[in-house]
């Protein structure tokens, strides 16, 4: 009988890791699979016998192997009981993770439990973390993840754009914040090396840099790992300039799509993928909340690290002389109340027109928690400020978690009161999903 129900594959692992390239073998002949999940469950106690050919074993060892096999079957049968256990209990929503009375260790155990993640998926209560682009300011994402782990807030889906895809990929790869920190620190160190940048300069027909050193830095963080093998569901967003559309990548070599998602036009050449040219996903959607929503997330924590847009009015008349603008910029006594835009400023604003519209849509998406990290004082390439940016993100994350707990809302549903203002709707207690425009 045909069915339209979603079909998702659950892969059980005896260790909390996935060897590179093994997931693809399960998926390539199962085209009807819409998603897959990596779940940690020891299939056999470590003291059991190893896999041996019974044909060459003595009789008593054959009996022992049969006993071990039955033990494995019983262990597999216990999976049903474990799933029923998590499925029968009311699955905690985002707010209930904040309102728990247990200590941090219990919260961390609940958040890291793979069966709990699977149960949230089955019940439609998945929590997604969407990380926006912003260059070095994206180091603050690491601080946010750290604060969420300490508070016991689970991350079931993670992804993002540009530096957000980089940090998200590092965490999704193993679900290990320590490894994420180490690899991000190594990459930042390479980005601050002047000699690496100088030797990578080229004649700027396509871009100022060849991209070799940047590629090498990304590859050292991800090696040859594939997105399918990541422990957590992950996505990276790029801009396809061949067909003028946004691309969402959930499979393939991770380093290539992370590199494509971080490819600023003019600085790095586009990544060629099956004949298509891919550049920074921020040109289309710098905070891809809609992608996480389409992947089944119920609560979406969206972290924005982009710089502030200058919306101050400009008045220079109906025509503008470049010579006049140059002379005025050299005049120390001329202090205008507006900034004359350069060609690069105008091109940059045009490039991000679509992204700005998407950001406004993301802020009012149902179940979205929008956060703007206070990292705007750092420039896009200030990777040498790694520790300062990380601390800013961590402190902000801790403050927001404390605020959510204090308010008892998760977070409040916002309701328009007057033009340009929003008000928290009363009566929305912890455990109910709401919508928030900004925090």
Answer yes or no: is 303 within a domain: yes
Same domain, 142 and 24: no
Distance in angstroms (rounded) separating the CA atoms of residues 102 and 279: 45
How many Å apart are CA 429 and CA 432, to the nearest integer? Answer: 6
Residues 6+ apart with CB under 8 A from 269: 206, 207, 210, 211, 263
Task: Tell me the two tokens of residue 206.
Answer: 């396509």
Do 224 and 299 belong to one domain? Answer: yes
Q: What is the per-residue pLDDT for 420?
A: 38
Q: Is residue 330 part of a domain?
A: no
Which CATH number do you get for residue 267? 3.40.1090.10
Whether residues 47 and 102 fall in one domain:
no
pLDDT at residue 65, as a whole number:
55
88, 122, 141: which is the final residue of a domain?
Answer: 88
Rounded Cα–Cα distance for residues 399 and 401 (Å): 6
Contact 157, 35 (CB under 8 A): no
Beta bridge partners of residue 272, listed in sequence order = 277
DSSP state of 286: S
What confidence score (pLDDT) does residue 180 get? 95
Q: In the chain, count H helices and then E strands.
A: 16, 12
Question: Do 401 and 283 share a structural domain?
Answer: yes
Same domain for 220 and 299? yes
Asked if residue 248 is part of any domain, the answer here is yes
Q: 208 forms bridges with which residues in the sheet?
A: none
- pLDDT for 278 equals 96
The pair of three-digit structure tokens given for residue 221, joined into one six-digit string:
């963080």
325 inside domain? no
Three-state SS string over 233-274 comes to: CEEEEEEECCCCEEEEECCCEHHHHHHHHCCCCCCCCCEEEC
Whether residues 78 and 160 share a domain: the answer is no
pLDDT of residue 92: 55
For residue 392, give the 3-state DSSP assignment. helix
Q: Are residues 239 and 370 in the same domain?
A: yes
Residues 69 and 117 in one domain: no
Catalytic residue among 156, 174, 200, 280: 280
Task: Name the burial class of residue 129, with classes exposed (0-12), middle (13-18) and buried (19+) by CB atoms within 10 angstroms of its CB.
Answer: buried
Residues 169 and 193 grouped into a single domain: yes
**189 and 255, same domain (yes or no):** yes
Catalytic residue chosen out of the listed positions 126, 147, 162, 225 = 162
What does each C-alpha distance from 249 to 26, 171, 172, 255 come to in angstroms?
18, 16, 14, 11
93: nearest Cα among 65, 121, 120, 67: 120
In a domain, 439, yes or no: no
Is 51 annotated in the active site?
Answer: no
Side-chain-facing half-sphere of 105: CA atoms under 13 Å? 0
pLDDT (0 to 100) of residue 232: 94
Nearest to 76 by CA among 23, 12, 27: 12
Looking at residue 66, its pLDDT comes to 57
Q: What b/e string do you get for 69-88 counting C-beta neighbours within 10 Å, with b at 16 or more? A: eeeeeeeeeeeeeebeebee
DSSP-based three-state secondary structure for 304: strand
**Terminal Cα distance for the chain, rounded:** 49
Written as six digits, the tokens of 218 are 């990304």
pLDDT of residue 424: 33
Coil, strand or helix at 361: helix
H or E element in which residue 224 lies = none
Give the span between the Cα atoms of 251 and 109, in whole angstroms: 28
Q: Is residue 435 part of a domain?
A: no
| Residue 224 annotated in active site | no
pLDDT of residue 188: 95
Residue 322 lies in a domain: no
Cβ(166)–Cβ(187) under 8 Å?
A: yes
Q: How many separate domains does the chain show? A: 2
Q: State the Cα–Cα distance between residues 90 and 113, nearest whole angstrom.
A: 16
Question: What residues make up the domain containing 22?
Answer: 8-88
Half-sphere exposure of 396 (CA within 13 A, CB side): 23
Question: Which among 189, 211, 196, 195 is positioned nearest to 139, based on CA atoms?
Answer: 189
Q: Could you read off the pLDDT tens digit of each residue along the chain, which spans 439 residues?
A: 567 788 899 998 888 888 888 899 899 888 888 899 998 877 655 444 444 555 545 554 455 555 555 555 565 566 666 656 655 555 555 555 555 544 444 434 533 578 889 989 988 889 999 999 999 999 999 999 999 998 888 899 999 999 999 999 999 998 889 999 999 999 999 999 999 999 999 999 999 999 999 999 999 999 999 999 999 999 999 999 999 999 999 999 999 999 999 999 989 999 999 999 999 999 999 999 999 999 999 999 999 998 877 777 887 778 888 888 888 778 777 777 777 777 777 777 777 788 888 888 999 999 899 999 999 999 888 999 999 999 999 999 999 998 888 876 543 333 333 333 333 333 333 333 333 333 3
Asked if 71 and 145 sit in the same domain, the reply is no
Nearest to 146 by CA among 389, 410, 398: 398
Among 65, 88, 111, residue at a domain's last position = 88
- Residues 78 and 124 placed together within one structural domain of the fold: no
Find where tokens 């998590």 sit.
86
Alpha-carbon gap, residue 217 to 268, rounded angstroms? 14
Instruction: Establish if 336 belongs to a structural domain.
Output: no
Task: Answer with the one of 88, 118, 145 that is the final residue of a domain.
Answer: 88
Q: What is the pLDDT of residue 95?
A: 57
Residue 210: both structure tokens together: 């060849």
């Amino acid at each position: 009988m045909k069915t339209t129900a979603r079909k998702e594959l659950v892969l059980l692992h005896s260790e909390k890791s996935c060897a590179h390239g093994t997931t693809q073998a399960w998926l390539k002949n199962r085209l009807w699979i819409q998603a897959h999940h990596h779940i940690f469950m020891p299939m056999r106690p470590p003291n059991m016998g190893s896999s041996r050919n019974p044909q060459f074993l003595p009789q008593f060892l054959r009996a022992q192997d049969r006993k071990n096999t039955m033990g494995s079957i019983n262990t597999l049968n216990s999976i049903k009981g474990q799933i029923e256990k998590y499925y029968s209990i009311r699955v905690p929503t985002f707010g209930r993770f904040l309102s728990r009375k247990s200590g941090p260790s219990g919260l961390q155990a609940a958040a890291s439990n793979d069966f709990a993640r699977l149960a949230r998926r089955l019940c439609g209560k998945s929590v997604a973390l969407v990380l926006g682009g912003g260059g070095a300011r994206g180091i603050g994402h690491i601080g946010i993840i750290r604060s969420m782990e300490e508070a016991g807030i689970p991350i079931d889906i993670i992804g993002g754009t540009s530096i957000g895809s980089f940090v998200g990929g590092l965490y999704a790869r193993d679900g290990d914040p320590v490894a994420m920190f180490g690899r991000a620190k190594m990459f930042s160190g390479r980005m601050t090396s002047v000699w690496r940048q100088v030797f990578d300069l080229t004649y700027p027909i396509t871009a100022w840099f060849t991209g070799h050193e940047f590629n090498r830095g990304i590859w050292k963080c991800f090696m040859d790992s594939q997105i399918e093998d990541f422990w957590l569901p992950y996505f990276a967003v790029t801009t396809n300039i061949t067909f003028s559309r946004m691309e969402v990548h959930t499979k393939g070599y991770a380093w290539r799509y992370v590199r494509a998602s971080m490819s600023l036009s003019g600085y790095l050449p586009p990544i060629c993928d099956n004949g298509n040219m891919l550049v920074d996903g921020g040109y289309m959607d710098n905070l891809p909340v809609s992608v996480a929503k389409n992947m089944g997330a119920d609560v979406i924590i969206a972290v924005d690290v982009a710089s502030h847009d200058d919306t101050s009015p400009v008045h220079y008349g109906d025509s503008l002389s470049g010579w006049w603008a140059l002379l005025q910029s050299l005049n120390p006594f001329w202090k205008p109340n507006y900034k004359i835009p350069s060609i690069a400023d105008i091109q940059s604003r045009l490039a991000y027109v679509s992204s700005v519209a998407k950001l406004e849509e993301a802020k009012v998406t149902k179940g979205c928690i929008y956060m703007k990290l206070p990292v705007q004082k750092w420039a896009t390439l200030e990777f040498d400020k790694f520790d300062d940016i990380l601390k800013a993100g961590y402190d902000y994350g801790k403050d927001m978690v404390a605020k959510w707990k204090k308010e008892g809302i998760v977070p409040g549903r916002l309701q328009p009161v007057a033009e340009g203002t929003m008000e928290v709707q009363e009566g929305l207690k912890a455990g109910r999903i709401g919508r928030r425009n900004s925090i």
